[in-house]
């Protein structure tokens, strides 16, 4: 039996049992046998969820880039590590071998050092999906700088908030980016953001679209000349297993995004372990995850997990719709993709288009299909299974979170029988449970409750940057001694888990987590707006879309509603980004509130979902009369 690579269901159960009975022995053996450490640990695990404090591989020393790059140079130097597929299919794909990756990461790391970055400094990376993104992430890790990648679809305001929160010393960006037929002025967004960020000393700019941009003297530098002049070797910094590797922001129920802090050793072990098992990666496979590295999926399953296994990982710059709806499948055929990992929202959008876009291409290389980011509905699952996998490639519906660092509940292909909409079973080392609202664990099956995790796993986030208190309050307070995920879940007779969705004020739109609070803050900035409330409602392609209830000030009354709607969406785009725009905006004279003044979102959600006839008892509201009125005005 191999603990590292599970090949069938019996092995899974054996390995799972060991991981629960002897977690330290289990993870200790995996860490020792499959990774390179400069110094072994003194203790595998130390934990206390009441503080909360978790340490894995205490006292061990390592550098993650040695594990992701250097150690492969003996056997895989000429193997493609990163295969870059540009936005425009007429531009040649760019394979980067492990040898070249080593050289480019070392050069980049030397540039960072030369510009004053050292261990522990925070570096913000705001780049499109071009090789420099993966390389700069690894370059930070090489010298122990903490990377904070911000998805390049975020607005200047959202970028500035994140840069300031982590006091980033450096910004890495590009002149612009390609997105289908459009170009985006990334450097312009960075310039605007940096007007309110005094912490950033230097900006390194990669050239991608050759646009004419402003370069601030003494602050901004073109990247390429610096790289060309840099040494091709860079000694990796010796890191403690618990040193932070990166910060990645995720939305929360309140306005300020949460900078989740991930560790070096535990994160490496878990992202690599799960990559191997969930995708059943074999030495000559070509693996493609369509996510952006700006999200956790890209961190763990485009960069670190695949590279730690010596895999070939595809990085795609473009979008599924350009030049046409066949682009994904054209890439699958072109690079003979073996494992394909995407989001349900993409599958739903692709499924709406003519099947000829799929049928044109040879997809026979595919072995495993994956989904992530939101629940997959049954129809989309079948479309994926029938038309992409041809009923021959198991679908891994992988449940996890920015906070968990790696996949937590998922089938292991060729081992776990799949059922549409079920993420199925916990991976080795993961101990989920369901809780009722009173805080009692629900034993027995079936059960439906709030999904918690009872025991630490190596890649869990260790804190929220600069706010450990919030980390504790958000994840470890609702249920004693347990990590609370914020999701609801169902466990069926056989113990399979199905994620039923968020139970807090986070809404997942096209796979992106959006907190309602920051969106409401943006709406309320409009001079004509007095108050607002945002809820989600079901949407065919996006999974959920956003519905805003807006109360106008007296000065706003009489103004054209359509104009106001576009101004509000413009504000949201500026403050957060286009992903947070509202699909529907209803102007109303009041919002249902409890006697303590809290907006009753449950009621607003039902009205937005067209379930307004089934509201239950509303008599305890401060203003029950408003409900009928809101129902009448629905848009």
Tell me which residues touch ligand WTA (CB under 6 A). 250, 295-297, 372-375, 397-402, 423, 485-487, 499, 502, 508, 513
Closest Cα partner for 341 from 379, 378, 308, 305?
305
Which residue, 277 or 398, is less far from ligand WTA as judged by CB? 398
Q: Is there a contact between 69 and 101 (Cβ–Cβ < 8 Å)?
A: yes
C-alpha 556/C-alpha 246 separation (Å) is 44
What's the min distance (Å) between Cβ of 539 and ligand WTA?
A: 15
Question: Mapping DSSP to helix (H, G, I), strand (E, B) and coil, where does residue 536 land?
Answer: strand
Phi, psi of 295 (to 5 degrees): -115, 165
What's the min distance (Å) between Cβ of 398 and ligand WTA?
A: 5
Which residue, 157 or 297, is less far from ligand WTA as judged by CB? 297
What's the min distance (Å) between Cβ of 134 and ligand WTA?
A: 18
Question: Mapping DSSP to helix (H, G, I), strand (E, B) and coil, where does residue 554 land?
Answer: helix
What's the min distance (Å) between Cβ of 53 and ligand WTA?
A: 22
Which residue, 250 or 459, is less far from ligand WTA as judged by CB? 250
C-alpha 326/C-alpha 350 separation (Å) is 9
506: enclosing H helix or E strand: strand 506-509
Closest Cα partner for 144 from 236, 55, 70, 59?
236
Closest Cα partner for 407 from 243, 324, 291?
291
DSSP for 55-74, written as a single string: EEEET-EE-HHHHHTGGGHH
C-alpha 317/C-alpha 276 separation (Å) is 24
C-alpha 259/C-alpha 162 separation (Å) is 8
Which residue, 263 or 513, is less far from ligand WTA as judged by CB? 513
What's the min distance (Å) between Cβ of 426 and ligand WTA?
A: 13
What's the min distance (Å) between Cβ of 410 and ligand WTA?
A: 8
Which residue, 124 or 423, is less far from ligand WTA as judged by CB? 423
Which residue, 183 or 500, is less far from ligand WTA as judged by CB? 500
Closest Cα partner for 60 from 33, 32, 39?
39
Phi, psi of 263 (to 5 degrees): -85, 175
C-alpha 588/C-alpha 600 separation (Å) is 15
Which residue, 35 or 267, is less far from ligand WTA as judged by CB? 267
Which residue, 427 or 630, is less far from ligand WTA as judged by CB? 427
Q: Is there a contact between 242 and 265 (Cβ–Cβ < 8 Å)?
A: yes
Residue nearest ligand WTA by beta-carbon distance: 402
Which residue, 57 or 295, is less far from ligand WTA as judged by CB? 295
Q: Is there a contact between 162 and 115 (Cβ–Cβ < 8 Å)?
A: no
Question: Mapping DSSP to helix (H, G, I), strand (E, B) and coil, where does residue 120 land?
Answer: coil
What's the min distance (Å) between Cβ of 374 and ligand WTA?
A: 5
What's the min distance (Å) between Cβ of 379 and ligand WTA?
A: 15
What's the min distance (Å) between Cβ of 397 and ligand WTA?
A: 5
What's the min distance (Å) between Cβ of 375 and ligand WTA?
A: 4
DSSP letter for 45, please: E
Which residue, 115 or 539, is less far from ligand WTA as judged by CB? 539
């Amino acid at each position: 039996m191999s603990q590292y690579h599970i090949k069938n269901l019996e092995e899974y159960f054996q390995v799972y049992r060991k991981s629960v009975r002897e977690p330290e022995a289990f993870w200790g053996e995996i860490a020792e046998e499959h990774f390179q450490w400069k110094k072994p640990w003194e203790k595998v695990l130390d934990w206390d969820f009441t503080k909360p404090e978790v340490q894995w591989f205490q006292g061990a020393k390592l550098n993650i880039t040695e594990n992701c790059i250097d150690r492969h140079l003996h056997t895989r130097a000429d193997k493609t590590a990163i295969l870059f597929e540009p936005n425009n299919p007429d531009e040649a794909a760019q394979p980067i071998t492990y040898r070249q990756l080593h050289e480019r990461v070392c050069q980049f790391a030397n540039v960072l050092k030369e510009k004053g970055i050292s261990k522990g400094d925070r570096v913000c990376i705001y780049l499109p999906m071009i090789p420099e993104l993966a390389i700069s992430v690894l370059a930070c890790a090489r010298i122990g700088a903490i990377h904070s990648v911000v998805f390049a679809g975020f607005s200047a305001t959202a970028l500035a908030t994140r840069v300031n929160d982590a006091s980033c010393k450096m910004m890495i960006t590009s002149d612009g980016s390609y997105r289908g037929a459009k170009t985006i002025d990334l450097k312009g967004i960075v310039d605007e953001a940096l007007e309110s960020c005094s912490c950033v000393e230097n900006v390194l700019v990669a050239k991608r679209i050759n646009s004419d941009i402003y370069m601030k003297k003494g602050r901004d530098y073109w990247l390429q000349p610096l790289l060309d002049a840099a040494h091709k070797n860079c000694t990796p910094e010796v890191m403690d297993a618990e040193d932070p590797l990166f910060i990645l922001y995720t939305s929360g129920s309140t306005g300020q995004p949460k900078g989740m802090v991930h560790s070096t050793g535990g994160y490496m072990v878990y992202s690599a372990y799960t990559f191997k098992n969930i995708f059943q990666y074999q030495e000559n496979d070509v693996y493609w995850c369509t996510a952006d590295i700006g999200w956790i999926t890209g961190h763990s399953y485009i960069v670190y997990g695949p590279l730690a296994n010596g895999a070939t990982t595809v990085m795609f710059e473009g979008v599924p719709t350009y030049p046409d709806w066949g682009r994904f499948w054209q890439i699958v055929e072109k690079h003979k993709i073996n494992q394909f990992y995407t989001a349900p929202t993409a599958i739903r959008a692709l499924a709406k288009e003519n099947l000829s876009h799929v049928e044109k291409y040879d997809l026979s290389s595919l072995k495993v299909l994956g989904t992530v980011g939101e629940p997959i509905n049954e129809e989309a699952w079948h479309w994926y299974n029938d038309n992409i996998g041809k009923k021959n490639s198991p679908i891994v519906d992988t449940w996890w979170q920015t906070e968990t660092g790696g996949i937590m509940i998922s089938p292991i292909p060729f081992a776990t029988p799949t059922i549409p909409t079920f993420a199925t079973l916990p991976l080795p080392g993961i101990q989920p449970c369901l809780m009722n609202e009173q805080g009692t664990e629900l034993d027995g099956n079936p059960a439906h409750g709030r999904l918690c995790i009872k025991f630490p796993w190596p890649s869990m986030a260790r804190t929220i940057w600069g706010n450990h208190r919030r980390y504790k309050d958000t994840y470890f307070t609702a249920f004693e001694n347990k990590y609370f995920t914020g999701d609801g879940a169902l466990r069926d007779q056989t113990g399979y888990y199905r994620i039923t969705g968020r139970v807090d004020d986070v809404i997942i739109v096209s796979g992106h987590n959006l907190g309602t609070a920051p969106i409401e803050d943006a709406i309320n900035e409009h001079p004509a707006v007095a108050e607002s409330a945002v809820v989600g409602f079901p949407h065919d392609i996006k999974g959920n879309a956003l519905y805003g209830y807006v109360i106008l000030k007296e000065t706003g009354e009489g103004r054209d509603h359509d104009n106001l709607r576009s101004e509000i969406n413009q504000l949201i785009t500026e403050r957060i980004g286009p992903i947070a725009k509202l699909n529907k905006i209803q102007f109303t004279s009041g919002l249902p509130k409890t006697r303590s003044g809290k907006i009753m979102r449950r009621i607003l959600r039902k009205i937005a979902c067209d379930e307004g006839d089934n509201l239950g008892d509303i008599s305890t509201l401060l203003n029950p009369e408003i409900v009928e009125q809101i129902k009448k005005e629905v848009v």
